[in-house]
Amino acid sequence: MVMRFKLSRQTRFMLESLALAILYTALPILLLIILQTFRSLTALNLVLWLVFTLGWTALITYIYVKKVSKRGGLTFRG
């Protein structure tokens, strides 16, 4: 038995915003902590981290926009 909860638009918006914020930041910060832990903060590693972070952000944005466009787009009604 699956329980479904009806969320208001505002609550859904806040939950999606929170999920996106976590997705955008969790993996890049974790990778930066790993680099710091292993004393691997060289210029090359930081540039590679930056490239990875930008790619990760683009990927998450692409997936989210595709998901949102399937359900009707980013339209806000008052």
> For 23-77, how does the pLDDT look when each residue is reduced to its tens digit (9 = 90+)?
999 999 999 999 999 999 999 999 999 999 999 999 999 999 999 888 877 666 6
Instruction: Kindly state whether residue 76 falls inside one of the protein's structural domains.
Output: no
CA distances from 51 to 7, 16, 44, 45 (A): 37, 25, 11, 10
Question: Which pair of tokens denotes residue 54?
Answer: 């930008």
pTM over 0.85: no
Question: 54 is in which domain, residue-wise?
Answer: 10-70
Count of C-beta atoms within a 10 Å radius of residue 49: 17
Instruction: Kindly state whether residue 4 falls inside one of the protein's structural domains.
Output: no
- Phi/psi region, residue 73 (left: phi>0; alpha: psi -120 to 50; beta: rest), is left
Instruction: Kindly state whether residue 3 falls inside one of the protein's structural domains.
Output: no
Q: How many domains does the chain have?
A: 1
